[in-house]
């Protein structure tokens, strides 16, 4: 099964302080420039896991070809629109052990338009996966929502990763749930799930979301994952032990691992184990992409 992923592509600047912060002065750090973006990361991991995958998004004209090449190195059929006026989005990621703070400029991602998402993208596709970042901006949400409608008309399943608790809180749960309703699978983390449902306990969050989505994979960080399905399935699995070097992209890798197994027709417990194993691989290296195939951007200015 070919998976189509739609959403953001960005330049990640990952900062890892080597000492406690020195207020108003210099903190020794390692700084890496890497390709990123939630949806692009998910596509890259899917490709690295051997799943046929296509990606659609928008980058600045100055480095759209570079981003397409980075995705192609992971086995992704990248269909990137080159924006002549806006730069590729950028995120500064401040990574401290198991925590990361992100400072986000979405850049050209905010200019994604219907012309970037033609019907031909859906040819041969069995699943359309959408990063929630594409549902937080009205114009982009309209374009992506129309693609989701066209996918459903073709009998193509859809899935959604809410992606950002902060953006979700600003947008509002009701608006987001109306955009995402109809997706077969949803991949919130616990903070996002609580915002979407008003529930607190993981089991209650999953039960509430199953009303909208037949399959819910709730990401619980170090606590593993809870998978719930409308047929009554409830699976609670622990995380896979890993040395956390950089948690950036762990949730993206989780989605990709789950969808790779889903695309192979494997049962939900296998999908969950694949998701957790892929997330463990992601946190063990710097950057949000598969370490064996990610392109380093350190040779150009950050």
What is the set of active-site residues? 252
Cα 147 to chain centroid distance, Å, stands at 18
Q: How far is CA 297 from CA 34, 170, 228, 291, in A?
A: 5, 32, 39, 13
In angstroms, rounded to a whole number, what is the distance separating the alpha carbons of residues 45 and 40? 9
User: Cα torsion for 6, 7, 13, 16, to the nearest 10°?
Assistant: -80
The contacts of residue 26 (CB under 8 Å, 6+ apart) are: none
β-pairing, 225-229 with 76-83? Answer: unpaired
Chain centre to alpha carbon of residue 75: 17
CA 137, 139, 140, 146 torsion-angle sign = positive
Alpha-carbon distance of 286 to 33, in angstroms, equals 10
Inter-CA distances, 119 with 73, 131, 154, Å: 25, 19, 10
Instruction: Please tell me the distance from the alpha carbon of residue 268 to that of residue 261, in angstroms, as a whole number.
Output: 8
DSSP notation for 13-78: EEEEESSS--TTS---EEEEEEEE-HHHHHHHHHHHTT--EEEEEEEETTTHHHHHHHHHTTTEEE
């Amino acid at each position: 099964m070919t998976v189509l992923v739609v959403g953001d592509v960005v330049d990640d600047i990952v900062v890892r302080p080597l000492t406690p912060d020195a207020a108003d002065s210099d903190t020794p750090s390692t700084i890496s420039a890497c390709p990123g973006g939630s949806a692009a990361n998910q596509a890259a991991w899917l490709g690295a896991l051997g799943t046929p995958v296509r990606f659609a998004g928008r980058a600045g004209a100055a480095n759209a070809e570079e981003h397409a090449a980075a995705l192609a190195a992971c086995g992704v059929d990248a269909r990137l629109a080159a924006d002549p006026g806006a730069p590729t989005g950028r995120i500064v990621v401040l990574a401290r052990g198991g925590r990361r703070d992100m400072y986000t400029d979405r850049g050209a991602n905010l200019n994604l338009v219907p012309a970037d998402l033609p019907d031909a993208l859906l040819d041969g596709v069995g699943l359309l996966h959408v990063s929630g970042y594409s549902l937080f901006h009205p114009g982009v949400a309209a374009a992506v929502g129309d693609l989701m409608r066209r996918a459903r008309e073709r009998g193509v399943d859809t899935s959604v990763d809410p992606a950002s608790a902060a953006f979700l809180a600003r947008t509002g749960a009701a608006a987001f749930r109306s955009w995402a309703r109809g997706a077969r699978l949803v991949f919130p983390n616990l903070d996002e799930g609580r915002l979407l449902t008003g529930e607190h306990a993981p089991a209650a969050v999953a039960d509430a979301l199953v009303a909208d989505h037949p399959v819910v994979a709730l990401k619980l960080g170090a606590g593993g994952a809870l998978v719930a399905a409308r047929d009554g399935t409830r699976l609670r699995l622990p995380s896979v032990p890993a040395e956390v070097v950089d948690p950036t992209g762990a949730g993206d890798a989780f989605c990709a691992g789950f969808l790779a197994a889903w695309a192979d027709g494997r049962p939900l417990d296998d999908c969950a184990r694949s998701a957790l194993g892929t997330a463990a691989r992601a946190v063990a290296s710097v950057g949000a992409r598969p370490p064996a195939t990610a392109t380093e951007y350190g040779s150009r200015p950050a």
